[in-house]
């Protein structure tokens, strides 16, 4: 017997958590968990108070709502995104989903069939790969090399008559790199030329180091015919448990997504939607402060990196919630990541969870998600990594 779910791998974060079973972490050296990007802090207190009021006084928060989302939230997204990207986005071009993963799944279901192909730069976001596997759609890897940036010319050679989309994540999960505006535009033009979709997952856009619009896609003529923009409120407002995301694209495509969304969830979480709307209208200054904190943590990683660099480590990418490190040891990253739990009290994900099985680069890298450790925690993390004394890889393997 086989099934759609058996066509893919186990959820990586859940697998990594099982490595903690039976391991004791003394008070003097508690676990440093850099395995997951989701913030563990609660939404800010003013938002929680507003949510409590919604629970008591907003009847619609407890009832089914429109499949494509709360009209007021769709309108607010359209207005704020139009201003942020210097584009023209209408409410009917916006749909609200139960998180960004569902936004991706709905989009793929609306544009592709089993046997089709979607291009993903590697290292890729594992949930994108998992959904494509379960849908019977081939994930065609776009290798990125040392820069971790995909090359449109390489992607062009990978497009076939079965290709339905190119999916980018920027700032990138897992690599942390921010795709330059001109690179994103080049991929838009490539997709437009071939009549396929460009899916741009901007879950972490609120923590981009660049102020202002990170790209000019919404300024392009007929952007909605090619672009599918995905977003998550989970990271911006710490609404991870309330599952609120968004899609911005053509109304015709949203109509197809509606069929998927109605079948899977009927409507997005109503309380989460009202909360996201309140956040957009009231937490702009607070979110700006959160961005500065994440940028400070990024700077802390860059500051401490020399103590690892002298031992052969290399920082390949750093941005949003992520640092992507090449390690120097004579073992694959999946073995190393499990060894780090007992040896260093660190839980991190190996690069093998973000790459095709045959990709040797995955064995050389670790993803560090620093959403839940501050500058002091980052200093301790780097001190523990610097203290490791595993056997080093031969130079030919390390490179």
Band of residue 39 on the pLDDT scale cut at 50, 70, 90: confident
Does residue 396 surpass a pLDDT of 90? Answer: no
Query: Mind listing the pLDDT tens digit for each residue in 349-388?
Result: 999 999 999 899 999 999 999 999 999 999 999 999 999 9
Q: Domain ranges for the chain, please list them.
A: 5-42+286-398, 45-283
Does residue 399 surpass a pLDDT of 80? Answer: no
Using the structure block, give the residue that is written with the tokens 């209408």: 90
Does residue 397 surpass a pLDDT of 70? Answer: no
pLDDT over 70 percentage in the chain? 99
Other C-beta atoms lying within 10 Å of the C-beta of residue 25:
14
Spatial separation of the C-alpha atoms in residues 226 and 196, rounded to whole Å: 7
pLDDT over 90 percentage in the chain? 93
Which pTM value belongs to this model?
Answer: 0.95
CATH architecture, domain defined by 5-42+286-398: Alpha-Beta Complex (3.90)
Residue-wise DSSP of 174-222: TT-PPPPHHHHHHHHHHHHHHT-EEEEE-TTGGG-SSSS-S--GGGSTT
Does residue 398 surpass a pLDDT of 50? Answer: no
**What are phi and psi for residue 240, nearest 5 degrees?**
-60, -40
Does residue 1 surpass a pLDDT of 60? Answer: no
The CATH number given to 45-283 is 3.40.640.10
CB-based contact 80:222 (threshold 8 Å) = no
Query: Mind listing the pLDDT tens digit for each residue in 242-292?
Result: 999 999 999 999 999 999 999 999 999 999 999 999 999 999 999 999 999
Query: Mind listing the pLDDT tens digit for each residue in 156-198?
Result: 999 999 999 999 999 999 999 999 999 999 999 999 999 999 9
Mean of the per-residue pLDDT values for the chain?
95
Decide if 5-42+286-398 and 45-283 have a common fold.
Answer: no
Spatial separation of the C-alpha atoms in residues 52 and 105, rounded to whole Å: 31
Helix 375-386 vs helix 284-309: angle between axes, to the nearest 10 degrees? 20
Q: What is the CA radius of gyration of the chain?
A: 21
Q: H or E segment at 274?
A: helix 270-282
Q: What is the mean pLDDT of residues 111-116?
A: 97
Does residue 306 surpass a pLDDT of 90? Answer: yes
Band of residue 347 on the pLDDT scale cut at 50, 70, 90: very high
CB-based contact 198:228 (threshold 8 Å) = yes
CB-based contact 69:277 (threshold 8 Å) = no
- Using alpha carbons, list the distances in angstroms from residue 128 to 105, 353, 372: 8, 12, 23
Band of residue 392 on the pLDDT scale cut at 50, 70, 90: confident
Lowest mean per-residue pLDDT among 60-74, 285-299, 302-316, 383-397: 383-397
């Amino acid at each position: 017997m086989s099934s759609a779910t058996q066509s893919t791998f186990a959820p990586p974060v859940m697998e990594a958590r099982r490595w903690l079973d039976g391991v004791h972490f003394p008070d003097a050296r508690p676990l440093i968990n850099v395995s997951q990007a989701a913030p563990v802090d609660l939404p800010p207190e003013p938002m929680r108070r507003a949510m409590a009021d919604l629970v008591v006084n907003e009847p619609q928060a407890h009832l089914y709502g429109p499949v494509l989302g709360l009209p007021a939230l769709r309108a607010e997204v359209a207005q704020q995104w139009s201003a942020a990207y210097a584009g023209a986005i209408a409410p009917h071009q916006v749909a609200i989903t139960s998180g960004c993963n569902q936004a991706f799944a709905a989009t793929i279901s609306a544009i592709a069939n089993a046997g089709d192909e979607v291009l993903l730069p590697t290292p890729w976001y594992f949930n994108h790969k998992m959904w494509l596997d379960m849908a019977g759609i081939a994930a065609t890897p776009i290798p990125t090399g040392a820069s971790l940036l995909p090359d449109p010319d390489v992607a062009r050679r990978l497009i076939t008559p079965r290709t339905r989309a190119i999916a980018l994540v920027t700032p990138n999960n897992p690599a942390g790199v921010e795709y330059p505006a001109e690179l994103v535009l080049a991929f838009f033009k490539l997709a437009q030329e071939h009549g396929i979709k460009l899916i741009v997952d901007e879950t972490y856009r609120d923590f981009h180091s660049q102020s202002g619009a990170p790209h000019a896609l919404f300024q392009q003529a007929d952007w909605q015919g090619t672009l599918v923009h995905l977003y998550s409120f989970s990271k911006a407002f710490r609404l991870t448990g309330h599952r609120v995301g968004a899609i911005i694209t053509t109304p015709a495509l949203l109509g197809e997504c509606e069929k998927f969304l109605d079948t899977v969830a009927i409507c997005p979480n109503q309380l989460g939607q009202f909360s996201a709307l309140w956040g957009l209208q009231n937490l702009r200054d607070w979110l700006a402060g959160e961005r500065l904190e994440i940028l400070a943590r990024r700077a802390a990683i860059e500051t401490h990196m020399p103590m690892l660099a002298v031992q052969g480590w290399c920082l390949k990418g750093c941005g949003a919630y992520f640092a992507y490190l090449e390690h120097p040891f004579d073992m694959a990253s999946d073995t190393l990541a499990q060894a780090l739990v007992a040896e260093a009290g660190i839980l991190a994900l190996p690069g093998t969870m973000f790459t095709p099985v045959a990709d040797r680069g995955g064995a050389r890298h670790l993803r560090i998600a620093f959403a839940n450790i501050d500058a002091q925690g980052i200093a301790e993390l780097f001190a523990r990594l610097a203290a490791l004394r595993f056997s080093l890889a031969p130079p030919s393997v390390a490179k």
